[in-house]
Amino acid sequence: MSDRFMIYGATGYTGKLVARTAKTLGMKPLLAGRNEARLKSIAAQHGFEYQAISLDEPEALDAGLSQVDVVLHIAGPFSQTSKPMVEACLRTGTHYLDITGEIDVFEACAARDEAAQKAGVMLMPGVGFDVVPSDCLAAHMKTRMPDAVELTLGISGLGHMSHGTAKTGVESIGKGTRIRRDGRIVSAKKPLRREIDFGQGAKPSIAIGWGDVSTAWHSTKIRDITVYFESNPQFEQMAKLGAFMRWVMSRGPMQRALKKRIEQQPEGPTDEQRREGFAVLFGEAVNAEGARVQSRLQTPEGYTLTAMTGLEIVRRVLAGDAQPGFQTPSSVFGADFITEFEGCTRQDLNG
């Protein structure tokens, strides 16, 4: 195999950003995806090779992956695209990375841990903003409170979304708010709220079924995990939906209507919006006696960070820094991995 990697899904908003960033870093990915015309255009801009490959063509997918050591899978929704890519990676011995934030995708990858170990393949979903900063923060909280039984993560500063991110949110409507209790992923019976200080005073925050409900457990084994987002009107509206309305909005006709509306919005944040944006993450670990430690982490804007962390993990894996089986970012690279990136600063608030 050659010492290079594939970006699959290079024609979407995040895929184009990652390809552009790869060019500035001197990396030479093989661009891949379904739409040959769009691939050709993007590849020509950067002088990259490209290959049109559909995920429902296993032989073509295997042939494409046989040319690389690592795939950075960016084509969502990952609930539909992750499985065929993971299976192809296991067949071809290719390390699998993606940028999902979907709980079910993390759990599906974790279920393939034994197969991945036998194949000598690392499966590491969530190498972007979902979930590198929050996973590293979770691991840091575990280090600060080794006997923690409860982990709270909070996220602020998520502004403009890409089409893919918004569609993933639409697809999760029917699942309600998922949390982890006593080691198991469950749906909250009612909206969960709390005040979180992201650095400018306490802000109302609401629980969201974020990927760390899965990954933070695998990274820390803390049994109770809840993820909150700083509240906004959209989150509040979703929280107020009853079970029947969630069911209605999860049906095909409503899903198609909502996704059509998303397609009419801007593709994602502009370069200026990304430059000006940033995110703040909050972590809190509590032990059985009620002692608690808290930390904050500031990062660049989410899509910018995704390109940074995703490509750095590709670079490290190509250099041999990979562990076969299902892995989280912190399990391989450590809790301090996120602090190595420009614009990422972590502060311990007590203890």
d(CA 351, CA 192): 26
pLDDT tens digits, one per residue of 153-177? 999 977 655 546 655 565 655 566 8
Q: What is the identity of the amino acid at 6?
A: M
Residues 297 and 309 reside in one and the same domain: no
d(CA 217, CA 261): 35
245 token code pair: 């309305």
d(CA 39, CA 6): 13
Residue 308 lies in a domain: yes
Residues 144 and 236 reside in one and the same domain: yes
What is the mean pLDDT of each successive set of 10 residues along the chain, which is 351 residues long?
Answer: 83 95 96 95 96 96 97 93 97 97 96 98 97 97 98 84 56 74 93 92 91 97 95 66 64 69 70 89 98 97 96 97 97 98 95 60
Q: Which residues pair with 113 in a beta bridge?
A: none
∠ at Cα 130 (100, 319), nearest 5°? Answer: 85
CATH number of the domain enclosing 42: 3.40.50.720
Per DSSP, 98 falls in state E
CATH number of the domain enclosing 209: 3.30.360.10
Residues 284 and 145 reside in one and the same domain: yes
Edge to edge, the sheet with strand 95-98 lists 49-52, 30-33, 5-8, 70-73, 95-98, 122-124, 325-326
Per DSSP, 29 falls in state P
Residue 335 lies in a domain: no
Q: What is the identity of the amino acid at 211?
A: G
pLDDT tens digits, one per residue of 104-131? 999 999 999 999 999 999 999 999 999 9
The boundaries of the domain holding residue 83 are 5-127+304-330
Residues 190 and 107 reside in one and the same domain: no
Domain count, the chain: 2
In three-state secondary structure terms, 228 is strand
Q: Is the pTM of this model over 0.75?
A: yes
Long-range contacts of 24-31 (CB under 8 A, 24+ apart): 25/311, 27/311, 27/314, 27/315, 28/4, 29/4, 29/5, 29/72, 30/4, 30/5, 30/6, 30/64, 30/67, 30/68, 31/6, 31/7
Residues 309 and 294 reside in one and the same domain: no
Residue 198 lies in a domain: yes
Residues 242 and 321 reside in one and the same domain: no
Residues 21 and 161 reside in one and the same domain: no
Residue 17 lies in a domain: yes
Report which of 129, 53, 119 is spatially closest to residue 86, judged by C-alpha positions.
119
d(CA 245, CA 241): 6
Residues 294 and 159 reside in one and the same domain: yes
